[in-house]
Amino acid sequence: MRMTKICSYAFAMTALLAFSGAVAASDQACPAPSAIKQAGVSDAGTQQEETNYVATENGKAWKGSVSAYDDQKPDLKKLGAGKATTDNAKSLVACDYYNGTVATLRLTPDAPSTSAAKAVAPAGK
């Protein structure tokens, strides 16, 4: 009997947390590939050298970077919309962009999210 009560409480708490997460969720549209711009290079001349990318969509800023040593470089003229990803446990929203079948760039919101979010894939170029 005691174990059944504990399981019931555990189930109720899980349901409550899931519902709370759903209420806090907000849609964030991934920027269209045409909105992505190269924003310069950081840590030039070091092993941490990266090319930075930015985009603004619906008033929200997004950012990403690609290592200078990465074999796959984004071609902004051919960049296609990819997959929107969320991790509500970490409040992470990410938008992956592809050149062909290879993911070459990941953008995340510039300001960290304070609530759970749901990413929405862009409509395309």
pLDDT in tens, 82-110: 678 887 777 788 999 998 888 899 999 98
| pLDDT, tens only, 8-60 | 444 444 433 333 333 333 467 889 999 999 999 999 888 889 999 999 988 88
Dist CA 92 CA 27 (whole Å) = 12
Dist CA 27 CA 109 (whole Å) = 12
Q: Inform me whether the pLDDT recorded for 65 exceeds 90.
A: yes
Dist CA 88 CA 91 (whole Å) = 4
Tokens standing for 69?
């040593």
Q: Inform me whether the pLDDT recorded for 1 exceeds 60.
A: no
